[in-house]
Amino acid sequence: MTKDQAPPLPATRRTGTRRQEPRLKQDRAVRTRNTILKAAAEVFAQRDYPSVTILDIAEQAGVTKGAVYFHFANKEAVAVSVAEQFYTALLASVRPVLDTDATPARKVVELLRHTARSFHEDPLTQAGSRLQIQQWAIESELPTPYVGFTQVLAELLTECRTNGALPPEADPEALARVLRSALFGAQHISGVQHGWSDIVERTEEIIQALPVLAPAARD
């Protein structure tokens, strides 16, 4: 070291953490936002959207109203984020089913069963469904419902037609729309009448009613 060079600053608690502070704050913000969304899903799963307040969400999350408003402009923004998270999670959750070596027909059966269990057990899935039904009360646009889910069904049913499980004249896209309507119609009625307690049984009835799926369900 020359005379003109300053000695290096000693490592201190302050200088050692200064560079980490922005990252730590960012990580904490992400965790808080996720906590708020999880709490919002739990509230929306149990109550109609118009009756829910920011205070309800904050109390469920264990944070202040200010913390909610830091991440979301209003209740509508929270609802949109919960709905977006629902559709993302819906497709991600069925990926293990699609990655198996099962036949396409069996994959359709397991996809329907898996989704039914999610409606029975998962507050995010329940909240996403309720918000979609109550979109009339939300002053923001929600994602178009079940687009990706319907596409996955159509692709599997196309494979069913290719391997002979469906007759050549079958329309996979039309059948995918029928299955989508049957499943999500059943979950809506189950949710309203029984709090989704019987959605697994109602889904089995759908599967058994379709000749292309009933044999695969017994394999």
pLDDT for residue 18: 59
Query: Would you kindly state where each structural domain of the chain is located, as residue ranges?
Result: 20-218
pLDDT for residue 6: 52
Dist CA 35 CA 135 (whole Å):
23
Q: How far is C-alpha 118 from the chain's CA centre? A: 9
Instruction: Tell me what the mean pLDDT of segment 175-188 comes to.
Output: 96
pTM of the model: 0.84
Q: How far is C-alpha 130 from the chain's CA centre? A: 12
CATH topology assigned to domain 20-218 = Tetracycline Repressor; domain 2 (1.10.357)
Instruction: Tell me what the mean pLDDT of segment 186-192 comes to.
Output: 95
Q: Is 165 exposed, middle or buried (0-12, 13-18, 19+ CB in 10 A)?
A: buried
